[in-house]
Amino acid sequence: MPINFRQYKEILDLAAPIAGIQFAQVALTSTDLLMMGFISVQAVAAGGLSLLLYNQLRTMCVGMVTGVGNLIAASVGRSEKRTGTSAIDDVATDEIRDLLCASMLIATIAATIAGVILVIFSQILTFLGQATAVATLAKPIMLTLAPGLLPMLWLNVLRQFAVGMRRAGSLLTVTIISIAVNAGLNLIFIYGWLGIPPLGLAGIGLATTLVQAWTFLVYLRTVRRDDALRPLLALDGWRARPATLAIITRMGLPITLTYGSEAAITSIATVFMGTFGPLALAASNIVNQLAYIVYQLNIGLSQGSSILVSRTVSKGQADQVSAIARRTFAISFSAMAIIGLVYVFLPEIVLLPFLGGRADPSLFGAAATLLWFAIAHQFFKGSQNICVGLLRGLGKTKVALFNTLVGYWLIGIPAMVLCAYGLGWGSYGIWFGLCLGFGSTSILLWWRFIAELNTARLAISKNQQAFQIISG
């Protein structure tokens, strides 16, 4: 059977803009980690830990509004079914505006809470087993990163709105500029150029927060210039209806806990790595950041396929969902295989940018070994995230949460403890347990997706039969 490249393009057209915004976010923290290498190995350890905790909270915040894209796509699908055209009717217009108002309010509340939590974390790192020197260095950057959570989450609301409408646009230019601006601000704040006092790691966090705000404003301007999106744009969160807030929250909380659980297992692994010293922690931070960069592609594929599934199911075409899933996995696994080959054959090129221009043999050797674990990590973590997106497209967010809790907390974390400390595998045991947790979660989620898809097909078939009986 010949390959229909248009069907793959449909997924990529949705996934690419999502991945683009994700890369824009990760580009900031990746640039930050690169700049930390120019300060010291301890700065990489402390700053990397701070970024990981920041990403943990950022990911959980994003989960609260991720379902908005699915809700908007479903509303559009129902409108298309009612009108028989691609035009948005008045009912869908009101629904989309209502969803936007509610999601902006939820985003503001979630980001504020997360910022407070990050500040609290900055005060208790020593109680989590981190060295005093690392905790002292980490505190100021965590304080300056916290305010950036607000514009970051507002940007994600706009992204879900545009993607749900299948008009996400491109952020390639903005991404490239944001990387350059962030790097420039990092240098200015770190070294005290242009008469500004040297801020060290605190300056790196400040630069990221400023660029987050700038990126949000640029994307808001892009949305307002879109003729199809502008009439639907409604950001006055104080007008949100309680019923809509409840719908988004009910859908968002399981996603947040799923994302948080996923990020938590990585955060816990990082805390465990810190018990093996600054060198092991620095190596793990570098490799984790590399894996995190690659992971954004899978996030784009997950959300893009999820939007397609929501729209397809709302139009009564559940039989097409399995094909969407197969094409999404084909794209993901092909990309992960190519990246894995780069890790194997070109580790020097991959790692040296994160070493601050100093090829420390011990740090390089530890990170190069962890790259082998990163290959498995990217396949397992990427596939389980795609499954979460597919389940969300079917409206099943709670079942995804249950399976991730089993895979991460009942398998992954105990495996890390057993392998690292019980079997004496040290830092490598942490990464082995991490991969085992993501791998088992992938299998559980894929099995559940198949079961839920069969249920959805049966329900739609029964509804169609009932309609035929009534109309006949």
Ordered by start, the domain boundaries in the chain are 5-471
One-letter amino acid identity for 58?
R
Contact predicate 303/389, CB 8 Å: yes
**What is the distance between the alpha carbons of residues 360 and 374, in angstroms, rounded to a whole number?**
20
**What is the distance between the alpha carbons of residues 377 and 374, in angstroms, rounded to a whole number?**
5
Contact predicate 331/8, CB 8 Å: yes
**What is the distance between the alpha carbons of residues 246 and 98, in angstroms, rounded to a whole number?**
12
- pLDDT < 50 stretches in the chain: 1, 464-472
Structure-block tokens of residue 271: 């805390």
Quote the pLDDT of residue 200: 79
Ramachandran area for residue 84 (φ above 0: left; ψ -120 to 50: alpha; else beta): left
Quote the pLDDT of residue 467: 37
Quote the pLDDT of residue 356: 58
pTM of this prediction?
A: 0.74
